[in-house]
């Protein structure tokens, strides 16, 4: 799974593809059919690549990429994001055992489910991740 170019932007719903950089900041493109491009400045906006996002764990942090791989490999059916909190938590215990239940909120689980549903249709989902940059 190659998530290197996919980013989450604080305050904006959904995911974006990082397509370039200019003097004003980073150029992002929506992942929907519209392919709307926008420029975000790091001085006023926080963004994180999905590859770098981790979830609080009891012992150590759990990479989002590992959670996505678990869902994909096990063929786990995702619960609806409107499901009861207990259903969502049970699902997350299966895909992210050892997560810190006091610091991983239901809203976090919903966001991860939403992101997975967005990226599972893209070719990047089946690609191998490129080697880490040195």
Residue 13: both structure tokens together: 């719903």
pTM, two decimals, is 0.85
Residue 124, pLDDT score:
62
Compute the distance between CA of residue 79 and CA of residue 41 in angstroms, rounded to an integer.
35
Among 117, 53, 51, 120, smallest CA distance to 80 is for 117
Q: Where are the alpha helices (DSSP H) in the chain?
A: 64-74, 85-95, 106-119
Instruction: For 74-96, write each residue's pLDDT tens digit.
Output: 988 999 999 999 999 999 999 99
Residues whose CB falls within 8 Å of the CB of residue 65, separated by 6 or more in sequence, listed in order: 1, 3, 50, 51, 129
> pLDDT band for position 129 (50/70/90)?
low
Would the pLDDT of 24 be above 80?
yes
Answer whether residue 133 shows pLDDT above 60: no
């Amino acid at each position: 799974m190659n998530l290197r170019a996919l980013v989450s932007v604080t305050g904006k719903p959904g995911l974006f593809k990082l397509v370039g950089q200019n003097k004003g900041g980073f150029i992002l493109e929506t992942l929907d059919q519209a392919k709307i491009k926008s420029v975000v400045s790091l001085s006023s906006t926080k963004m994180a690549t999905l590859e770098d996002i981790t979830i609080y764990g009891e012992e150590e942090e759990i990479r989002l990429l590992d959670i996505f791989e678990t869902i994909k490999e096990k063929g786990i059916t995702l619960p609806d994001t409107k499901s009861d909190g207990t259903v969502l938590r049970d699902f997350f215990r299966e895909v992210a055992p050892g997560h810190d239940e006091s610091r991983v909120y239901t809203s976090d689980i919903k966001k991860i489910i939403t992101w997975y549903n967005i990226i599972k249709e893209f070719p990047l989902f089946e690609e191998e991740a490129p080697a880490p940059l040195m």
